[in-house]
Structure 1
Amino acid sequence: MRTTWAMTDICSAPFPFEKAETNASENVAGLVSAAFPAYARILHPAYRRVSEATAAAPAAFAFVRWTTVAKHSGAIAHPAMEWEAISAGQRDPGTPVWDVPPSMGRLPSQEQMVLASVLQDHTSMPERCWFAFAEARGLTVPPDYPRIVTAMGLMIVFRGAVFDAGRTFQHESPNLWWSDDRDWCVASDIDLMATYVGGSLACIEDLLATPRLEAVPAKPDQKVTIDADAVNPPPQQP
């Protein structure tokens, strides 16, 4: 299986959802549209160093869940928690819980493939999916190539099978991908530490029950901005 997309693979594509709220990227519906009966939020893991780099091997890291960080910092874990609120003041040098924060706009490749394995069972067209990459990531693409306009700005699109979700373009992973039958849609906004999925009730239930993913339920009108956490106090400014 190819692991990257080539410039020649770029194709034109219709916007995924006619009712997508392209001007409302501050909530879940603005990212994946209000067309679905259910939604999930997949929290990107933080990382803890488990071994130092040597001449023979790079440093090794383990995934750390947000619930683990919240417990250590004394924050309250809930579906709308935000990283900045739960991680504030948790880095005790004596007992570090995490060393590297969650990535923005990127679900780790292992989690991406786990997500694809769940989604393949909730579409009649697993061999026909679309993968869009935000040009704002710094992609270098000639102006004459087709693009679509979304809440994340201009995007370059490729077509493939559901497991092509693991393929990268210019070292980036897809920020928006969906099945051709519109049974689900996945959005990893370039400024967010979480990935949002819209789908059927059965699809979202399966995602929430997948141990490898730290997935929580979400609502279409739920805010996705840094101030979305109404339970934990925001971190104090220096």
Structure 2
Amino acid sequence: MEWIADPGVGAWLRETLDDGLGSMHAVVPRGFPAYARIFHPATVRESPTAADPDVRVSWADTAAAFGTTMHAEAQWHRIVRTPVDADWRTRIAPDGREFTAPMEGALDSDLVTVLAGHLAAHTATPDDGVVALWEGFGGLVGFFGDGPSRVFLTFSEDPHHQAMLDRSTHDPFNNVFRKPTWQDGILSREISEGPRLELPGRDYVLFSGGAQAFADPDWVLGVPWRDRVGEEHGFPPAAQSPNILWPADRAWVMVSEIDYDSTIVAGSPDLIRAICTDERLEAKALREGADLTWDADEVNR
């Protein structure tokens, strides 16, 4: 995969998006014969005090636990019966289990692999396409500033070592005349300062890449935006999943909008059918013009 310096390759997307926010087409292209919504998995544990780790849970199982209705345009906070002004991110079901909301803006890496297998099978250009990443993910791009966009905190059981670490923490408020300096991101400075694909409300960094590359279970290890800095601090290999992906023949478009807890695919009826019948994914066919905004779930009121 290589950086695409000319964002013009994605200009066609602008013509397919709505100006307003009244439907999913503010971020998902119009003009495709069929659509699917892949629901990002939530997590659950037996109780708020349970020592057991959280495990994945589907939206359908969550709805069953809360006595609500799962449907294609469901909204998570309605599924878990969130009262006004209450926190929808963590909710306790009537049976005492604690449910945590799905991740927004990203599909789990193993599910990306599953989905990419279907995408690759429904294009004439499985090895040729475009990957778009939202520029705003913390640490992705570099910038001029007084400090990095993220900090890895280090602790030591040795008090002398900890004192040294404490002294190494810089306070920009005590040095107000310090000039901003370049703060490295995951991506190179050339890419960080390069042009972006500008879509309504979002700017994206583009890379060449086909669906077939993401069908590899180890795709995280091969992408240019792999978080090697995090690995140097002891974290396992990780990389943001694509926010937008389309093949060179534009047979379909995949969108993981940063404020959505689901991923939308626009494509052929055969592709949508394959996605929705794969038991490894929780997916439902979606009508064109579907409203996925916060208050749009009319079923669970």
TM-score class normalised by the smaller sequence:
0.7 to 0.9
- Could you list the per-position Cα deviations for residues 125-182 of structure 1 after superposition, in whole angstroms to 9, with x for gaps in the alignment? 0000211001122331456412101235110011123143444625422111111100
Q: How does 1:208-227 map to 2 (within 5 A)?
A: 208-227=276-295
**What percentage of aligned pairs have identical amino acids?**
29
Partner of 1:104: 104
Structure 1 match to 2:156: none
- Asked whether 1:145 is paired with 2:213, we answer no
Question: 1:48-88 CA deviation, whole Å, 9 max, x = no partner?
Answer: 248xxxxxxxx744210001111111111111110000112
Q: 1:26 deviation in Å?
A: 4.5
TM-score under structure 1 normalisation?
0.82
**Which 5+ residue runs of structure 2 have no aligned equivalent?**
47-51, 83-90, 143-188, 228-238
Give CA-to-partner distance per residue, 1:4-52, whole Å, 9 cap, x none.
x7xxx321341153632153455223322112000001111101248xx
Compare 156-165 and 15-24 and name the one that shifted more: 15-24
Relative distance call for 1:121 and 1:46 in structure 2 (3 A) is same
Q: What RMSD, in angstroms, separates the aligned Cα atoms of the two structures? A: 2.4
1:82 and 2:78 aligned: no
1:194 to 251, 259, 262: 262
What letter corresponds to residue 200 of structure 2 in structure 1?
Answer: A
Structure 1 residue 95 and structure 2 residue 88: aligned?
A: no
Q: 1:152 to 1:185 in 2, by over 3 A?
A: farther
Deviates more, 1:112-121 or 1:160-169: 160-169
Query: What is the match of residue 56 of structure 1?
Result: none
Residue ranges of structure 1 left out of the alignment (5+ in a row): 51-58, 234-238
The offset of 1:189, in angstroms, is: 0.8
Distance 1:182 1:190, change over 3 A: same
Paired amino acid for 2:121: D
User: Residue 252 of structure 2 contacts residue 268 of structure 2 at CA under 8 Å; is this kept in 1?
Assistant: yes
With normalisation by structure 2, the TM-score equals 0.66
CA gap of 1:82–1:199, structure 2 versus 1, over 3 A, is same
Question: Aligned letter for 1:172?
Answer: Q
Structure 1 CA distance for aligned equivalents of residues 295 and 18 of structure 2: 21
- Kept in 1, the 8 Å contact 2:39–2:283? The answer is yes
Q: Which of 14, 19, 23 is the aligned partner of 1:23?
A: 19
Q: CA separation in 2, counterparts of 1:94 and 1:76?
A: 17
SS in 1 for 2:273: helix
Q: Which residue of structure 2 lines up, in the alignment, with residue 40 of structure 1? A: 36
Please give the alpha-carbon distance, in whole angstroms, between the structure 1 residues aligned to 2:95 and 2:123. Answer: 48
The structural deviation recorded for 1:93 is 7.7
Residue 111 of structure 2 aligns to which amino acid in structure 1?
Answer: E
Specify the SS of the correspondent of 2:35. Answer: strand
Aligned residues: 218
Instruction: Provide the residue aligned with 1:116 in structure 2.
Output: 116
- Secondary structure, in 3 states, of the residue corresponding to 2:92? coil
Of residues 53, 56, 63 in structure 1, which corresponds to 2:56? Answer: 63
For residues 22 and 137 of structure 1, the distance between their equivalents in structure 2, rounded to whole angstroms, comes to 24
Change (3 A) 1:22 1:205: same
Structural mapping, 1:162-173, within 5 Å: 162-165=211-214, 166-167=219-220, 169=225, 170=227, 171-173=239-241
The structure that has the greater radius of gyration is 2
Contact 1:22–1:150 (8 Å) recurs in 2? no
Separation (CA, whole Å) in 2 of partners of 1:25 and 1:212: 31
Alpha-carbon distance in 2 for matches of 1:180, 1:209: 26
The answer (yes or no) to whether the contact 1:137–1:190 under 8 Å persists in 2 is: no
1:185 paired residue among 234, 250, 253: 253
Q: Is the partner of 1:186 in helix, strand or coil? A: strand
